[in-house]
A and B are shown apart, each in its own frame.
Chain A
Amino acid sequence: MLRTGQKHHRTAVCQPWQLLVFAVGGRRLAVKALEVSGISQWNDSIPVAGRTPFVTAVIRQGQTVLPVFDLAASLHLTVQGSRPLCLRVKHPLGEMAMCIDEEIPVLHVFDPAAIQTYQGKDLPAEGSYTNGLDEIPILSISLLGSTV
């Protein structure tokens, strides 16, 4: 029992992060794969008048209606491509959708030791990693659309 527990502990500590790397307005961002619930083609959103910054629309997927977080607008960017994608993420308040560039997201596996603190203030991040000269922030989904 003790040996098994030690093994589990060691596995948890060394477990790599699976990150989905995508682009918004040409800028690369990452999100934990566990927080992604789906990727599909983007369908036109339905505007919802309101006062919540960057949450101004919903999308309908079958019988499901999801709020849209306008990540591109929050970063002062414009989604690129004529066929953008819909990234569905698991927000604590319920599933949420974001419109991202048409570039197909890529799954990366990282050693947690390679994750560093994100120095930028433009988005809520759990950290970042370096890819060449680029620092790629890892989005903190739970903090999207809430006070930091």
Chain B
Amino acid sequence: MKLNDGLERLRHCASNLAEIFVSIDEMRLVTENGQKRLGMDIRESMTGTPPLVSPSRYLIVTLGGWYLALNAESVCGLLTLEETGNVENLTVHGRVHSALNLADRLSLPDDAGGANTRVVLLSERESRGSIRVSMVQGLLDLQPSQVLPIPLQFRGAERQWYRGMILIAKSVALVLNTTWILNEQVSDLESSGGQEALPGIRRPPELL
């Protein structure tokens, strides 16, 4: 029953993200991105006069003690563990969202299992999947200039994993590349240690 309740909430997710995100705790997300206002909350972000250059919206989550950011355009739903009914591969509107272990792929401590754990449903083109995060912090609207590039010294496969960095509180949130998260082929090859055949992923140089 709980799963059905959760799925019901997802019914309109593709057309209206606000309905989904309004369930997020209205936690103020303090940023230091040079904005005049240092805080943003969920409802405020849904209203007001749009700026001349439309910002990108990011869902800020934590996992393994890290801040991570997901492009909100790829997020189509949030569920509590209870709402998923402990079903790993959720089927929504006849489409399967396979469970992806993000903590494992990023070699992070998997602390997603507490009361604040949320399952984030992701979709991009024909790819779909779900990830567990330990907490959802909120939404953040940012101009493109506020997303910092990954430093060039990071030369390995991680350049495919991240889209940039966001200054948040006194820390940094890494913007995840949803395409990489959802790309099972890359995941399988990486977990087996193979990198040679992956287009666009270079073997990291040997050092010293």
Contact = CB atoms under 8 A, between A and B. Distances in A.
B153 A91 contact: yes
A21 to B, nearest CB: 21
A58 interface: yes
A63 B165 CA distance: 12
Given A58-B151, A65-B172, A50 B205 contact: no
Contacts of A123: 208
A69 B108 CA distance: 20
Contacts of B107: 49
A45 B177 CA distance: 22
Interface bin, chain B:
20 to 34
Interface stretch (A23-31, A108-116, A140-148): A140-148
Interface in A40-94: 46-55, 58, 60, 63, 65-67, 69, 74, 91, 93-94
Contacts, number: 79
B153 A55 contact: yes
A52 B155 contact: yes
Interface string B19-55: 0000000000000101000000000000000000000
Interface string B152-167: 1111111001100101
B172 A58 contact: yes
A122 B208 CA distance: 7
Nearest to B168: A60
A60 B172 contact: yes
Contacts of B174: 48
Given A50-B154, A67-B153, A93-B153, A147 B205 contact: yes
A119 to B, nearest CB: 15
Contacts of A74: 207-208
Given A65-B167, A94-B151, A51 B205 contact: no
Given A50-B158, A91-B153, A94-B152, A65 B165 contact: yes
Given A46-B171, A46-B172, A63-B34, A96 B158 contact: no
A145 B171 contact: no
Main secondary structure of the interface of A (DSSP, over half): loop
A104 to B, nearest CB: 26
Contacts of B165: 58, 65
A93 B151 CA distance: 8
Contacts of B152: 93-94
B126 interface: no
Contacts of A54: 207
Contacts of A69: 153
Contact of B204 (A52, A66, A122): A52
Interface of B: 32, 34, 66, 106-108, 148, 151-158, 161-162, 165, 167, 170-172, 174, 204-208
The 10 closest A-B pairs by CB, nearest first: A50-B158, A51-B156, A67-B151, A93-B152, A52-B156, A67-B153, A49-B106, A147-B205, A51-B204, A51-B157
23 contacts: A46-B171, A48-B154, A48-B162, A50-B154, A51-B204, A52-B204, A53-B204, A53-B207, A54-B207, A58-B151, A60-B172, A63-B32, A63-B167, A65-B148, A65-B151, A66-B151, A67-B151, A67-B153, A67-B154, A69-B153, A91-B153, A93-B151, A147-B207
